[in-house]
Structure 1
């Protein structure tokens, strides 16, 4: 027992000596590391939105908060893969992209974390939030009809489903099925009417196409103006950009076209969002939440609407005058998370019906 007591006392002396041998620099470095984790003045944003108005808002946020926004831009899927590949070592704090379907993919990939914020709940309606608070919508757009005023009257139009009728054969323009906006549109039909009716719609549109799908949304509108087809399905903000383009020819083409919101007497027009979620393992989570809150507030929402012709999700902010001139419209009443839930089914249907 005496030998054991002596051994324990020696061991204690060695341990105390080791602690005392830690240099002041090592101790200071550790304290600085802990302080940096809690007092960081930066946030790393991975975004697939490439708009000047977004950059202006980030600068405004920096001025108001003193938090530096480090912006990494790229395509949505590439950025998501990068975050997944980087794992715990990722520097990403906030992932921002267009379409609820893409946000759903990020959630399913396990790269987002839940965020609880009274300000976000106050600014963003529940139907534009993820049900588990993994992401929040920041801007809204509707998928509408653009039509040739010389060939189509507003009373000729009614619903998405009606475009599959025989009188529209060879007259419909829409982009590829690989586009996530179309995938989400079909996913919304699956949610509302089931897979079989959604498949019938997709088959009908393929049968009535004016040409093989090519180009983006604005290319569909230009093709309508050129007489290739009579009706295009596209997002509202693209048409707003055309009407306010710096290219006089694009403005002239857009002015020849009309706007129609489908399904106003039934299920409502399809809507989607751009939105963002805080990345799992974020090193600057508090700052990421602050940036989200800033983008959901009145000033930023009004800037989004005015500069990019997107509908604000914050109900205290009015759409820009151009969007108001198109009138109020009834929206689909479905949770946006269903667009992600039904994405794989939508892609399968597109492949089955030969929508290229």
Structure 2
């Protein structure tokens, strides 16, 4: 009887020990999980920006104030930072890439350097201004225009189409940005997507045969027009509004080219944002992009907001070209080759 009782006690002790061990193991596993879940991102992001700081700094400062997330803003040329993201690869410090050009965003998408933007806010953005797989989004939109000096040329004399720039009567009368400018590459890549490489090359050769004044920036182009150095030039529409504020150099007006039936339409480009594939703070990066797409921040831009129908915004009445920026990225390298062949350089 005593032996049976001892055996029973031994069995009970073994059972209790086993249960205790299992519970101990479960407790370790639970603690590990809690530890992983409690590892939040540091409240910061690093942004590589190809936009002028005067456009983006006010938005960054407002984001920091509203969210408490510190933004490490590194500004420069968009192309330079796109290449840097590719070179740094998994070691990149960039969480967000801000671009002044849609073509560069497409280039990074093709190079598999971007992550999808998982946000319902993208439903508000027109589909042709979002990257495939939602790997980038436009923030603002701009149109390529002819700006002209009203003291030197009349509206009737201003060219109606980009193809008019090949007409010898305009020889030496207009200015354009250098070939290395990202938006110029995207502009001619967009044209190439419609008319093909041969006709695009012919167009660029004809333009260069008319001896345009090739300057280092769109700012230089608009000022050359405002000062009367040239009669007209090719710039983005927001440069026109900027020029109107420069006293003594603001006798200017603008038209959207290629608006007639059967013509190409005005070409649109964008400023945009993307989350890098190897972002160290992807959640904060998403918050930042969503913040920039909200109505209050959209209205802070000097350019036209990408979100349509915002109250108090005067949107451009223009017929845009039938192109998608997602089609432009694969044409970038070919376009730069065509520019070189046409004698169009920096």
- Does the pair score TM above 0.5? yes
The SS at the match of 1:341 is helix
What residue in structure 1 maps to residue 335 of structure 2?
A: 346
Instruction: Return 283-292 or 44-53, whichever deviates more.
Output: 44-53
CA deviation map 1:118-151 (0-9, x unaligned): 11222x1111101221110101111111112133
CA RMSD of aligned residues (A): 2.6
Q: How far is the alpha carbon of 1:318 from its aligned partner?
A: 5.8
TM-fit CA distance, 1:69: 2.3
Tell me the distance in 2 between the aligned counterparts of 1:345 and 1:234.
23
1:317 pairs with 2:306: no
User: Is 1:260 paired with 2:255?
Assistant: yes
Q: Which residue of 2 aligns with 1:116?
A: 118
User: 1:337 maps to what in 2?
Assistant: 326
- The 1-side partners of 2:312 and 2:85 are apart by 34
Residue ranges of structure 1 left out of the alignment (5+ in a row): 1-15, 245-249
- 2:311 & 2:54 partners in 1: Cα distance? 21
Q: Distance in 2 between matches of 1:60 and 1:135?
A: 22
CA–CA distance in structure 1, aligned partners of residues 188 and 312 of structure 2:
26
Q: 2:247 is matched with which residue? A: 251
- Kindly indicate whether the alpha-carbon contact (under 8 Å) linking 1:302 and 1:318 is maintained by their aligned counterparts in 2: no
Pairing of 1:1-356 with structure 2 (within 5 A): 35-36=38-39, 38-122=40-124, 124-156=125-157, 157-211=159-213, 213-244=214-245, 250-253=246-249, 255-265=250-260, 266-304=263-301, 308=302, 310-317=303-310, 328-356=317-345
Residues 173 and 212 in structure 2, CA contact (< 8 A), matched pair in contact too: yes
Does the 8 Å CA contact 2:185/2:335 hold for their aligned counterparts?
yes
Consecutive unaligned residues of structure 2, counting only runs of 5 or more, are: 1-20
Q: Secondary structure at the match of 1:203?
A: helix
TM-score when scaled to structure 1? Answer: 0.81
- Larger CA deviation: 91-100 vs 310-319: 310-319
Give the alignment's TM-score, normalised by structure 2.
Answer: 0.83
* 1:290 to partner: Cα distance: 1.5
Q: Contact 2:177–2:221 at 8 Å: present in 1 too?
A: yes
Q: CA 1:339–1:69 in structure 2 vs 1: closer, same or farther (change >3 Å)? A: same
Q: Take 1:158 and 1:319, find their aligned partners in 2: how far apart are those partners?
A: 30
Summarize the Cα distance change of 1:181–1:39 in structure 2 as closer, same or farther, 3 Å threshold: closer
Deviation for aligned residue 1:268: 1.2
